[in-house]
Structure 1
Amino acid sequence: LIHHLTQAFGGVHYIPEKERVFIENWEVEAFRRKIALKSSHSGRLQGKIAVITGGAQGFGKGIADGLAKEGACVCIADLNLNGAEKTAQELCNKYGILSAFAEQVDVADENSIVNMLTNIVRKCGGIDIFISNAGVLKAGRTPTFDKKDWDFVTNINYTGYFLCVKHAAPIMIKQNAISGKWTDIIQINSKSGLAGSNKNAAYAGSKFGTIGLTQSFALEFVENKIKVNSICPGNYFDGPLWSDPKKGLFKQYLESGKVPGAKTIKDVKQFYESKVPMQRGCYPEDVVKAILYVIEQNYETGQAIPVTGGQIMLN
């Protein structure tokens, strides 16, 4: 009957492939429109879906705040689900009900990453910005450094980044084929990825290695309109990574003897502050500015961008 009735309109007109695919994926655009309507403000990332691993505290939390402030819907992905949910709620209270949500992930566990990404796509329909931020540090002299600590650092910092890209990239490839737009994978690296770090071989090695991954991913996925870059922050002295009284870097470096002559945590902090030409540590808002640059710049990929107050200067 339907086929017969179409004769009054000149016969059957089949939906073009591009429109068919769009209809099948309409929930992506519907979710973006919902974000725009629910948001209490506009911004440079309005309607974008962003994911940040290790987003419950420290640099990750600050970066998530900066992205939500610019209008993105941010998935706070963290091993600490309670912390992720708390951060997500704070951002929703601050920027609007659809500004953030939480997902649990262990970046050293491939199945955990797949489950996280599956949940995100079901909720949001896609991913525009994936920020690989989760990382750990264990300092110590090489002759006495335990292999299990080496494996711990490498599995999270290096292999975890690889696994995240392995499973996030295919989502972006399908999405970009429909939209024709660029998407971004951004790794939060470190100044230790650009210069060696004394008595800190496991961490520096993992960060040097991930810059190699970034450059390789950039070459592989540019044809799919995925940009891949690393941001290399200086030291965030006020964050828990450095200042935690039980396991922070100030305490670790004091105990490992990394700073010659240091007797107290205050001595260690003063030593590191004196090494920065701009005489302060790096803050999350400094990193957010670099992230916004690589997102908005569609002619840059495979870069490792220092945000170090002049402590690292590229040749």
Structure 2
Amino acid sequence: MKVEGKVALVTGGASGMGKGFTEVLIANGAKVCVADFNSQCGEEAVAELNKKHGAGKAIFCKCDVTSKTDFEEAFKRTKEEFGGIDIVVNNAGIGGESDDKWESVIDVNMKGTIRGTRLGMYYLNKDNGGNGGIIVNMASAAGINPNPFSPTYGCSKAGIVHATRCYAISEAAVKSGIRLMVLCPAFVDTPMFQNLSSGDSDQFIGADMVKVKAFIDHIGVMTVEEISAAFLEMVEDDSKTGLILRCAKKTGNQYCTLAVENV
């Protein structure tokens, strides 16, 4: 699907990878609803996008993905404002392994993504007035390969991977021409990663930061621009559905596809 003339809703779209996705979508001709928990960052991101690309290219909806009401309102407003929805990007996510945070990781990452997927399936479904379209869910390499430093985060992302592949082969998706894909990057230079690499103890469980940093150095860190390019490739290639795209750094500081798996 070429994104020109399409409408997208991106959760966690005010910063990090989400902001990169909104930027690449609008730069290629789409209109975007930036759905984010942080109102200040969201309003600033939308003002920046509209100033750069033209008025009316982006709107902001405050959205806590753990709230059914918030999420439904974001979808409703996007459709009312732009006339429909073609692309849903469930990007919002958090990390945390402490006793008071790990449950929120499951609520935001796994339950929030599944909630967004179900809403996307409803709004894109041809039986409900939709035209089919694309749902991209953000997981992580940590959801495929065990990570001893962040087990809850890895569990949440593994759940996203499996749920996406299941929805991709569902009768509703096939009948309405809805493509579902999951993007699994390794480390990406986002605010969450910066907190992680700075030694935020809540991000890990009993981890030695020297070992953590050595692990990060071994894997490498992608830029938001690199992962956004991989994202756009997924969206615009109609042959891809039920796909897992894993990306990481390699020698020469270029991102590479480590594995592409179709259902």
| TM band (smaller chain) | 0.7 to 0.9
State the alpha-carbon separation in 2 of the partners of residues 289 and 228 from structure 1. 18
SS of match in other structure, 1:309: strand
State the alpha-carbon separation in 1 of the partners of residues 157 and 197 from structure 2. 17
1:222-259 deviation digits (Å, cap 9, x = unpaired): 2210000001112123x211224xxx443125985524
Partner of 2:199: 251
State the alpha-carbon separation in 2 of the partners of residues 294 and 201 from structure 1. 27
Tell me if 1:236 matches 2:183. Answer: no
- What's the Cα RMSD here? 2.4
Aligned counterpart in structure 2 of residue 190 of structure 1, from 134, 140, 162 = 140
Aligned partners of 1:176 and 1:225 also within 8 Å: no
State the alpha-carbon separation in 1 of the partners of residues 117 and 17 from structure 2. 20
Tell me if 1:78 matches 2:36. Answer: yes
1:22-79 deviation digits (Å, cap 9, x = unpaired): xxxxxxxxxxxxxxxxxxxxxx522110111001111111221111111111111001
State the alpha-carbon separation in 1 of the partners of residues 117 and 206 from structure 2. 36
Aligned partners of 1:176 and 1:224 also within 8 Å: no
Partner of 1:274: 217
1:201 maps to amino acid: P
Q: TM-score, normalised by structure 2?
A: 0.87
Aligned counterpart in structure 2 of residue 294 of structure 1, from 234, 245, 248 = 234
Partner of 2:77: 119
State the alpha-carbon separation in 1 of the partners of residues 130 and 27 from structure 2. 27
Q: Which runs of 5+ in 1 are unaligned?
A: 1-43, 140-144
Query: Does 1 or 2 have the higher relative contact order (CA < 8 Å, sep 6+)?
Result: 2
Task: Using the TM superposition, give the Cα deviation of residue 199 of structure 1 relative to its aligned residue in structure 2, in angstroms.
Answer: 2.6
Partner of 2:66: 108
1:103 maps to amino acid: C
1:252 maps to amino acid: D
CA separation of 1:186 and 1:255: change in aligned 2, threshold 3 A? closer
Partner of 1:201: 151
1:159 maps to amino acid: K
Partner of 2:253: none
Q: TM-score, normalised by structure 1?
A: 0.73
State the alpha-carbon separation in 2 of the partners of residues 161 and 256 from structure 1. 24
Runs of 4 or more, structure 1, over 6 Å off, are 175-178
More helix by share: 1
State the alpha-carbon separation in 1 of the partners of residues 163 and 130 from structure 2. 26
286-295 vs 224-233, which deviates more? 286-295
Aligned partners of 1:191 and 1:312 also within 8 Å: no
User: What count of residue pairs does the alignment treat as equivalent?
Assistant: 251
CA separation of 1:223 and 1:272: change in aligned 2, threshold 3 A? same
State the alpha-carbon separation in 2 of the partners of residues 104 and 252 from structure 1. 26
2:58 maps to amino acid: A
Instruction: Tell which structure's C-alpha radius of gyration is larger.
Output: 1
